[in-house]
Amino acid sequence: MTSCTTVRPEGPEEAYAFAAPFRAPQGSPIRELFKYVGRPGMISFAGGYPSKDLFDREGLARALDAAYRSDPIACLQYGDTAGSPLLRRSLARLMAAREVNCSADDIVVTTGSQQGFDLLLRTLIAPGDTALIEEPAYPAAIQALRLAGANIVTVRTDGDGIDVDALAAQLDAWPQACRPKLLYTVPTFANPTGATLPRARREALVRLATQHRIVLIEDDPYGELRFAGTPVPPILALADACPGGRDWVVYFGSLSKIVAPGLRIGWAIAPAPIARRMIVAKQTSDLCTSPLSQETARHYLDSASLESHLRSIVGAYRSRCEAMLKALTHFAPNEVICSAPQGGMFVWARLTGGRDAADVLKRAIERNVMFVPGHAFYVREADASSLRLSFAAPNEAEAFEGARRLASALSQT
């Protein structure tokens, strides 16, 4: 009889021989905070979650019911990897309202836009390839680039998003042999800064991407959440005016922030050679996005419920943002300097007096209030005084009380 004793010379971690990016993986710093969110009485300025009070529960229940009744087999069966043709048609109409000229065939439905980014990285990034990213940046984009093994190079931003002059100089000085493959940005109501890139900078970005043959990724989950200022068209819409520009822009949209993240419906609009490869990558990822979810989303979009829902959430986010900023000015006028976003879900802030936001967070959690310290949004060197405050979840009364608790934490740090 042969013995089948497995020899494991080292501890189990080493014995699994994990692939390089997973040997010592860093989890999402924001998701780590979520253990505190459910604590009784906690007021959270931390997550980028839509408000639970503002979901269109009735409208979505009707859409789910209509989807199942009208075509149960379409809901229950596997679907096309690129997405349901009918949902893609509805999304093309949604994009037309955003001034983007595209057809249903140009759209790939993804399981959240996060999957779209992951699929794109699989098609473009081999370990060691250079990827540019605005900084501060959306942490899950940084995390995805790290797991893809990218050489991550940051691009400077100011209160209006990417500093395109600095980027142009950075690219002009770049060695030809190893040009960056992509540039990731959230140009409208950015996560975390809330900043919106002005039109002229968007046009300049397209020109730079086209000239240097860099895939420009426009991640746009927040664009419809405008409550002040003048709308700016998506970069993708402006790319048509730059010869060859459309060949270098990939757009990600999402229903997560404007309808519900539980649907997990996102979409990508990419140049055909990229889209084709993303679909092949998706075949090995999830075969298709949940058909039940896609059908529900389609019925919701086609029922015109989105327009009135958007009016209601945008109004609520406006007054929640105003309430939070007013309360912070009242309770901590000299301790916190805040941005004033024109939409989205986030205020970007800096603490004065050399305070470290991570230290303040410890005191804040003791007082049942939370935010995300800035280090989560930096690739290497963080600005320790920075923090992100989301105004989406707490209502006006909670925003007031949360600011009072935050001021108390600040006074002890």
The CA distances from residue 161 to 174, 199, 379, in Å, are 22, 11, 17
Residues 6+ apart with CB under 8 A from 48: 30, 191, 257, 345, 346, 390, 392
Nearer to ligand PLP, 84 or 191 (CB): 191
Nearer to ligand PLP, 224 or 335 (CB): 224
Nearer to ligand PLP, 47 or 291 (CB): 47
Q: Where are the beta strands (DSSP E) in 161-277?
A: 161-162, 182-185, 215-219, 249-254, 265-269
Continuous segment of H or E residues that includes residue 110: strand 107-111
Neighbours of 356 (CB within 10 A): 17
Q: How far is the CB of 217 from ligand PLP (least distance, A)?
A: 10
The alpha-helical segments, DSSP class H, found in 128-198 are: 139-147, 164-172
Continuous segment of H or E residues that includes residue 132: strand 130-135
Residues that bind ligand PLP (CB under 6 A): 48, 112-114, 138, 186, 191, 219, 221, 254, 256, 261, 266
Helix (H, G, I), strand (E, B) or coil at 274: helix
Nearer to ligand PLP, 55 or 68 (CB): 55
Q: Where are the beta strands (DSSP E) in 34-106?
A: 43-44
DSSP conformational letter for 25: P
Q: How far is the CB of 124 from ligand PLP (least distance, A)?
A: 17
Closest CA to 319 of 400, 206, 209: 400
Nearer to ligand PLP, 217 or 382 (CB): 217
Is residue 142 classed exposed, middle or buried when 0-12, 13-18 and 19+ CB atoms within 10 A define those classes?
buried
Q: How far is the CB of 286 from ligand PLP (least distance, A)?
A: 13
Nearer to ligand PLP, 46 or 242 (CB): 46
For residues 3 and 125, the answer to whether their CB atoms sit within 8 Å is no
Q: How far is the CB of 137 from ligand PLP (least distance, A)?
A: 9
Nearer to ligand PLP, 256 or 296 (CB): 256
Q: How far is the CB of 261 from ligand PLP (least distance, A)?
A: 5
Q: How far is the CB of 121 from ligand PLP (least distance, A)?
A: 13
- What is the rounded CA–CA span in Å between residue 291 and residue 382? 41
Q: How far is the CB of 133 from ligand PLP (least distance, A)?
A: 11
Q: How far is the CB of 333 from ligand PLP (least distance, A)?
A: 29
Closest CA to 233 of 224, 246, 244, 245: 224
Nearer to ligand PLP, 186 or 332 (CB): 186
